[in-house]
């Protein structure tokens, strides 16, 4: 019973409506990534930028590679 009360309150609350504003994006195109069965089968990559300069060439960014299985990160300037 109380779950319906909460849902109804959130539908009518100004605060809830502003905090949970819809972006218009639909979630139907999201593809579930399979779980790896061994290390380094699936990796995630991203850039870390705006870092303070360091190293012999004063690098200020790096590529971050993370193994999905073990969560082990590798940072490459």
Q: Domain map of the chain by residue range?
A: 36-77
| Spatial distance between the Cα atoms of 54 and 63, rounded to a whole number of angstroms | 14
**pLDDT given for residue 25 in this prediction:** 67
Give the C-alpha distances (Å, rounded to integers) separating 4 from 27, 56, 58: 24, 61, 58
| Spatial distance between the Cα atoms of 76 and 59, rounded to a whole number of angstroms | 10
- The rounded average pLDDT for each run of 10 residues, N- to C-terminus, in the chain (77 residues) is 77 78 69 90 96 92 97 96
**pLDDT given for residue 43 in this prediction:** 95
The pTM (predicted TM-score) of the whole model is 0.57
Greatest Cα pair distance, the chain, in angstroms, is 64
**pLDDT given for residue 14 in this prediction:** 82
* 3-state SS assignment for residue 27: coil
**pLDDT given for residue 41 in this prediction:** 96
**pLDDT given for residue 29 in this prediction:** 73
């Amino acid at each position: 019973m109380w779950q319906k009360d909460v849902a109804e309150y959130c539908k009518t609350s100004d605060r809830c409506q502003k905090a949970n504003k819809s972006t218009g994006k639909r979630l139907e195109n999201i593809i579930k990534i399979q779980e790896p069965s061994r290390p380094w089968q699936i990796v995630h990559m991203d850039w870390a930028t705006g870092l303070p300069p360091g190293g012999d060439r004063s690098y200020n960014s790096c590529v971050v590679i993370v193994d999905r299985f073990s969560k082990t990160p590798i940072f490459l300037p």
